[in-house]
Every structure is written in structure tokens, then in C-alpha cells.
Structure 1
Amino acid sequence: MGSLAWWHWVLIIAAFVILFGAKKLPDAARGLGRSLRILKSEVSAMHDEDKKPATATETDVTATVATPPAQIAATPVAPPAAPVVTTTTVNGVPVEERRAG
């Protein structure tokens, strides 16, 4: 009573062919297969990230090297560019547009 008999499957397949047409069914099956493949790869990648141990660069804080203050002071700093102001007229009203130069 709980399982589907062969004629149930025939009726289900016939309903799909009538509803979607014989030409669209292979495309729909192909799209479903691609979606399932993508889902499977994403789930396995998610599990791999959970199991991946922390590398030495992620856990070793003392490996970073500080920049000496003399080198920081010697680094030239460019002055900020002046904004470019253009005036446009919209419906007879002047409107200013400011853009970083």
C-alpha cells in the first residue's frame, strides 16, 4: 500500500510529459543534475573548511615584523587631491558636482 506500483510511475511520467513537453524534460533533468552537483561540491567544501587545521601563519603572532619608526617618518605622503567642481544645469537650476581629483 505504501509503495508505488509500476502503473503509478507511468501516470507520473505521462503527467510530466503532458505538462512540460518532451523537448523541455531533458533540459530540466540536466539543470537539476548540475544543481545537485554544485550543492554537493559546496557542502563538501564546507566540511573541508571545518576540518582544516590552523596553519602556522594563522596561529603565530610573533612572526609579524614591525616597521621601524625612522622608516615610517621617511615615507613620503602625497597631499590629497583637490576636488573637481563642475556645474550642470538641470531644469534651469545650476547643480554642482564634486568629484575627487
Structure 2
Amino acid sequence: MAYVVTENCIKCKFTDCVDVCPVDCFHEGPNFLVIDPEECIDCTLCVPECPAEAIFAEDDVPQAQHGFIALNAELAQIWPVISERREASPDADEWNNKPDKLKYLER
């Protein structure tokens, strides 16, 4: 069971989670992070580190966010690995917890 980054990460892209990942399973897009389900070892270290509370075990992804399971797998194949923490988007705190952000996802 892999972990999944969900909608609340969009336009926030805090990277605290990346710092604790022992296998570099995070991939970075323009305004979102994803987890490669093939690389994730289910260690749970990233979950408490996410300020946006956007990371869930695959079995615990909220029903309305189930599309993010496939989206993480798809985008992990094309986006580069990120293995070091970076500064969050300047307006990340403003976007944190805003609803309906999928339309802002940049591929």
C-alpha cells in the first residue's frame, strides 16, 4: 500500500515530506508533489511532516480524492524526483485548505 499526495498540496507544495523520505519516492511538478507508488515503502514518515495534511495511505484517501491515486502514479512517471526540501511557494499558506484546487494543477 503506497501513500498518496492529494489535492491540498496543489499550489502549496510544502516539501517537508521530501526531507524525511528514505527512498526518494517524491516527484515534483510545477505546483504539486506526487509519490511514486512503485518506490514508496509505506514507512509513514512523510505523513506527519506535511503541513497541508495532504498525504494519506492509499486505503485512507478520502472518497472525493480517489482520483489522486491514479494521478500520483501517472505523474510520477514523467516528473523528476525531488530529494531535498525547498522553500514552499510564497503564497502557500494562503492556498492551504482552499477547496477545489484540482483545476489549478499544472502538469
TM-score normalised by L of structure 2: 0.14
Greater percentage in helix: 1
TM-score normalised by L of structure 1: 0.15
- Choose between structure 1 and 2 for higher RCO, CA contacts under 8 A separated by at least 6 residues: 2
Q: Which has the larger radius of gyration?
A: 1
